[in-house]
Amino acid sequence: MPAIVGAIKVNSVGTSSIVHIGDVITISPYSEVKTFAGAGSFNTGDGLNIYNQNSVTNTYDNDVIDQPIAGNL
């Protein structure tokens, strides 16, 4: 179905963002990122007590490719 779009305002678009207005079949991202974080890095909430003694983050990745994006160009 055709889309009828009124006034829009785009303040900023990041490097891996997608801005779409109207009809679309498929939207594919064009970037990838691998995040490494130590123990307790993504904890959220009130009153957390985190005790991480001798925490080590293993960043060795033997398969090298996790999610290829070669077809999303």
Taking the C-alpha atoms of residue 72 and residue 52, their distance in angstroms, rounded to an integer, is 40
Mind listing the pLDDT tens digit for each residue in 3-24?
677 888 888 887 767 777 777 7
**Encoded tokens for 11:** 């303040």
With cut-offs at 50, 70 and 90, classify the pLDDT of residue 52: confident
Give the closest residue to 33 by CA, choosing from 7, 71, 66, 62.
66
Mind listing the pLDDT tens digit for each residue in 53-70?
877 777 777 777 777 766
